[in-house]
Structures are given as C-alpha cells and as structure tokens.
Structure 1
Amino acid sequence: MFLSRTLRAAALALPVFAAAASAGGCSSDVNPLKAAFTGADSRPVTAPDFVAGSRRSDADYMPVGESAPRRTIRARNAAGQSALEAELEGARNRNQAKGRAAEGAAKDAAKGLAPNPVQ
C-alpha cells in the first residue's frame, strides 16, 4: 500500500517536473546545455547596426537594482489652491449641466412611447 502511494505520487510529480524542466530549458539564461557547449567565457554579442544607431549616445541609464530618485513635491500656496478649487468647481458645474441636458433629451425622446407591458 505504501509503495503504491509512493508510485502514484511520483507518477503525478513527473509531468510537473518535466514541464518545469522543459520550460527552463527554453530560457537562454538557465539553459545548462548552452552553458556546457559554449563555455563560461563565450564572447559578448554586439548589438546590430540598426539597434546601435537608434540608441541615443547621451542616454543615462539607471543601473539595475537601484530605485529611481524621488522627486520632491511642494505644497501649493494659497493662490494656487484657490485657483485649483475654482477650476474643479467649474468642471463640476459643466458636468452637472451636461447631465441635466442628457436627462432632458431622454425625457423628450420618450414622450410618445408607451411602457412595455409585463408578459
């Protein structure tokens, strides 16, 4: 009984292991066969001309593993705060007016229609 459970567990685990191994085998950075045949000191691959030509020469790339520097956000002064409030209030009023217009148009369109009878 113990042996049959062990064989059953191994039979269930084998397809999972095979799928994981084959997926890892397709990855170029984890492929042990590629490392065995090319060796650890394989030459670096240079970028094709169209890739090298499309890159900016003054590009300042951030190293891998470092976080982007945080920008400091300054609070608004009183004039900026009141201007923002006025802008948001105006947007709210415009949206409410559009809603009232749409509601009125829907009521006008439904004036001659009779409600659906319940079947």
Structure 2
Amino acid sequence: METYKLSFGIINKIGKNIAEVIVNEGIEMDTVKVSEYHDFLLNNLEAPFLLLVNRKHCYTYTFEAQKIIARLEEIKSIAVVANTSGGVLSTKTLINVNGNANLNIELFREREEALVWLNKE
C-alpha cells in the first residue's frame, strides 16, 4: 500500500483503482481542496475509482464542496466508514445535497466491511 500526503490529509492507494481517504482533524474541505483531491485520483488511480472514505477524524465541508466532491464521473462507488453520529450525519447530509446525482455511496461502521463491499462493486 502506498501512502500520499495531501494538504487536507492522506490517501492510501490500496490497489490500481482503490484508495482510502483520511481527512485530517479540523479540516474544512473547500473547492480548492476538492480540486486537489480529484486531481490526485485522476493522476494516480485507474478508472473506475472505488473509494473508502475513513471518517476517523472530525472535519467539515463548505456547501460548494459538498455539491462537487462525489461528482467526478470516474468515481464508481464510495464506502464511508463512520463511527460517530456526527460522521454519519455529515455523510447523510452530503448524500442529500447530491440527491439528484445518482451516487453509489454506502455507510459502514467497520473498515473491513466497507472494503468487502467495495471489492464486490
């Protein structure tokens, strides 16, 4: 597994098209950070992308970032691991903001369970 440090956190490249995203504590994801994130995915993974978003830290999104973060057409599926009620609520809000986008996002409590689901996608 390869690990990359970005301005907002780290991305662990698990496979040629699978990555785990861990955003640092207290970060506010804005459109600039989302662009950095999308650029990383496009330049380091093979499409279609399978993403594991590990919400082990508390962070926020601007409204503009919420609208675009999951809308990269190369993203096939996103598994979100959320162990706190805040993480679950934040993820459900992001899904609702993108309600008309037909996103394939699932919530999980355990990382291994999320990886199993992604590998079936």
TM-score range, shorter chain: under 0.3
Greater RCO, 1 or 2 (C-alpha within 8 Å, sep 6+): 2
TM-score (norm 2): 0.17
CA radius of gyration, larger in: 1
Structure whose residues are more often helix by fraction: 1
Structure whose residues are more often strand by fraction: 2
